[in-house]
Structure 1
Amino acid sequence: MEKDYYQILGVGQNAETKEIKEAYRQMAFKYHPDRNTENPDAAEKMKAVNEAYAVLSDPSKKREYDSLRQQFGNSAYNQFRKTYSDQDIFSGSDINQIFEEMAKAFGLRGFDDIFKEFYGQGYRTTFEFKSTGLFSGDFIFSGNFGKKENKSAEQPPKISYLNKLSRFVIEKVTGVELPENGADLTDMILLSPQQAQEGGPYAYFHKKKSKKLVVKIPPGIREGQHIRLSGMGEDGKGGGNPGDLYLKVQIRKPFIQKVQDFIFGPHK
């Protein structure tokens, strides 16, 4: 039987971008191989929805596919694949980001493992997915806690490469080792909704220093905010101050809420 990308995703030809993404999220979660270990057909269905989403979520590919559907009807898929390889279809897609969101939310295997399984070890050398540096999807948030002077939940500072270069030049010229502050560290803590709302003490084990710490959680802290622990980063050199430790907050969600957030986006 001829394939039809719209039928595979269960959307109409006039579906908006948001509807297409929601349909894909739902299908990707349904057919993820880790959730279908006893269903041998799930992998092929997963590959089909990946391809359908990569085409329909790209405006130019979607226009070309729509044009072929008008000309060739049920044969549009075969006509489309005559000119589009897997590399062409997935180029520029954000499927990698959606897979990572799903992996972070549900503990499933991520994008790299699944695509190696589907398309072979060399897929990264030919597939060019959308890159953002950091995943900024539905489950990873960012934001400041109140005003800047509130040190209990601030963002880690950016590294100054100019300062590092200046230090290197001075040490080379003078032969004197300058004091260097220790690097900041980051980690994640998982709170229950009640802990986030009420605040209070939180037991945290600092792996780098092999220490047990009691962290004070501010009441009403939100997902993605950072708690700063002064002096708990890397040790300084030459008399420099130790860095800080920034704990990024994630709030545990009921499983059904995770599914709803993954498909429809987080509740605002």
Structure 2
Amino acid sequence: MSTKDWLEKDYYKVLGVSSDAKPEEIKKAFRKLARQFHPDQNTGNPEAEAKFKEISEANAVLSDAEKRKEYDEARRLFGGGGGFRFPRSGQGTSAEDLFANFTAGSEGGIGDLFGNLFGGGGTRRTSRGPRRGADIEGEVTIDFAESLTGPMVTMQTTSEAACPTCHGTGARPGTQPKACRACQGSGVQTSSSGSVFAVTEPCRECRGRGLIVEDPCPTCAGSGRAQSARSMQVRIPAGVTDGQRVRIKGKGGAGENSGAAGDLYVLVHVRPHKIFGRKGEHLTITAPVTYAEAVLGAEISVPTLDGSPVRLRVPAGTPNGRTFRVRGRGVKTTTGVGDLLVTVEVQVPKHLTDEAKAALASFATLAGDTDPRAELFGAVR
């Protein structure tokens, strides 16, 4: 994620929550928007796809306590709340340069910036220190049943890693990069303005790297980094929902100079089931019953997701659309097991024999049914 994102994007506004929103509020807002703008619900709509990516990006920052803390601090110090402003492009030091270390989550960064702003005192961090690897993203599609158990999936990812030819030095094999003379290998330069203020910025000669590559590696052109494709096994947590973004710590891009690896964010798509649905930790199913079963009552057999049926008693006079609860046959969560919600659907016969029609007419006479729509007309009057 670039520095510009941290400073200019209002992730709270994107999710429609306040800056002091609780984690559960953020989670609820993301789920609502994810359902609304999910690509599967907006086929061929690039605007919805872009909005879905935007809310996913906002959720990735605000749902992570550490990242949210850094984001809030960055906006408080350098965002739109007044106070210090970075120069605009073409007017000297850029926000990207000054914030490079801060957004990487490393020590130094802001402390160095303000230490040098008022004449030194902070610890100077060279750019050759450890750098955290980049976060990467991927998508997987799993079956409905798999989403409840937590499957192991194989993912193909592409990320930056040390160049296999120069092993990250950026120099042609057999040669070594040299320390930058302009910054003595620190990667930063300090420029003074008057006798009080001094501003530290990345060295313009080595672009903040601290090294000069005189004979670049032919594979990476001196950058020391190259695209690396790899296959990995990833465990998707049990109970994942469609559109959920799962964070796999340490499975992202490789770090530099022994820095920690980034994280992998997996967008999970869940294929709908033919007969089962989901409502939180509960499974749902619609079970058809005959007219006679609804009127007279019956004991019916209902399938469950694991294949073993359950017996359900339908009382006499059950109306269409009534829902029954079978406890303990839903989704397993960390707090327990949900239920199976069975909604009955009364099937009205489409074809009747003459004998059946006669029997039904006789039933209507014997039951003495009154006009069920009489109350409607009474209410109108």
Task: Say whether the fold is shared (TM-score over 0.5).
Answer: no
Higher relative CO (Cα under 8 Å, sequence separation at least 6) belongs to: 1
Larger radius of gyration: 2
Higher strand share: 2
TM-score normalised by the chain length of structure 2? 0.31
